[in-house]
């Protein structure tokens, strides 16, 4: 067979295109989800153009494992950046409310290493997607039967991408709980009392002593009496 027929992928993407949730997530990821879905639909569109021109190699390349993985990994990186930025903002806001010194709260922000670890956690739901992509690559389209298997494999990849994204959203929500101790530390922080003790207590004692002298309750030292004209 010479021409490949690219199946519609949108129905298999499901909630990647039309999310169904009861509440808005703490970290807004909808724009990243929409870009991922758009990228997949663009890959399908490019494959259909190539199919209409009977360019089999271009069709297979447009919907190859690498194309899907690139789209998925880009979405994961963007989501990890969004979650890290959201945690940084939450920590900074809580720190400013508590009047924590900047040099202290900045040490609690998400580091580059923690951001990479965060991306790895967000990507853990992509395992079945990678398995489905391996199965897609294993299909050699040479006849009507293998052509149907290739179409089914594409739909399966799209469904696994939907599942991977939903797992990513759950992992993003878990990141808020993971960072809860750091946030709680900031919220519970209070300015130390030692500056009050070190600075204000001696000053208060000196003022009290001076008041007693001026009230003639205690004698003034010679040097102070001379200055005060006592």
The domains of the chain are located at 10-191, 193-230
Cα 47 to Cα 96, 129, 139: the distances in Å are 52, 20, 17
The predicted model scores a pTM of 0.79
Helices (H) and strands (E) in the chain, counts: 12, 0
Residue 198 in this model has a pLDDT that exceeds 60: no
Residue 101 in this model has a pLDDT that exceeds 70: yes
Given a contact cutoff of 8 angstroms between Cβ atoms, the answer to whether 144 and 1 are in contact is: yes
Query: Interior CA angle at 42 toward 36 and 47, to 5°?
Result: 135
* pLDDT confidence of residue 125: 94
Query: Which contiguous run of DSSP H or E holds residue 178?
Result: helix 144-178
Share of the chain above pLDDT 90, in %: 55
**What tens digit of pLDDT does each residue of 132-178 get?**
999 999 987 878 788 899 999 999 999 999 999 999 999 999 998 88
Give the other-Cβ count within 10 Å of 129's Cβ: 24
**What tens digit of pLDDT does each residue of 43-52 get?**
999 999 999 9
Residue 71's nearest CA partner among 144, 183, 207, 162 is 162
Classify the C-alpha dihedral 1-148-10-136 as positive or negative: negative
Query: Which contiguous run of DSSP H or E holds residue 204?
Result: helix 201-214
What does the block give as tokens for 30?
């909808």
Cα 195 to Cα 101, 153, 199: the distances in Å are 14, 68, 6
Q: Enter the DSSP assignment of 219.
A: P
Residue by residue, DSSP assigns 26-40 as SS--HHHHHHHHHHH
């Amino acid at each position: 067979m010479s021409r490949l027929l690219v199946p519609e992928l949108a129905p298999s993407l499901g909630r990647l295109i039309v999310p169904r949730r009861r509440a808005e997530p703490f970290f807004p990821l909808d724009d990243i989800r929409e870009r991922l879905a758009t990228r997949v639909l663009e890959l399908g569109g490019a494959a259909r153009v190539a199919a209409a021109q009977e360019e089999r190699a271009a069709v297979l390349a447009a919907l190859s494992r690498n194309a899907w993985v690139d789209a998925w990994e880009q979405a994961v990186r963007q989501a990890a950046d969004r979650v890290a930025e959201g945690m940084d903002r939450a920590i900074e806001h809580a720190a400013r409310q508590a009047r924590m010194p900047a040099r202290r709260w900045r040490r609690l922000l998400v580091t580059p290493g923690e951001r990479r670890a965060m991306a790895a956690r967000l990507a853990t739901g992509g395992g079945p997607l990678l398995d489905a992509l391996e199965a897609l690559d294993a299909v050699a389209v040479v006849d009507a039967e293998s052509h149907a298997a290739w179409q089914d494999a594409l739909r399966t990849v799209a469904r696994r991408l939907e599942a991977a994204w939903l797992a990513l959203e759950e992992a993003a929500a878990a990141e808020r709980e993971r960072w809860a101790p750091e946030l709680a530390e900031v919220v519970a922080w209070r300015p130390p009392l030692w500056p009050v003790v070190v600075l204000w207590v001696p000053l208060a004692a000196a003022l009290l002593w001076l008041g007693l002298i001026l009230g003639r309750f205690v004698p003034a030292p010679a040097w102070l009496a001379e200055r005060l004209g006592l």
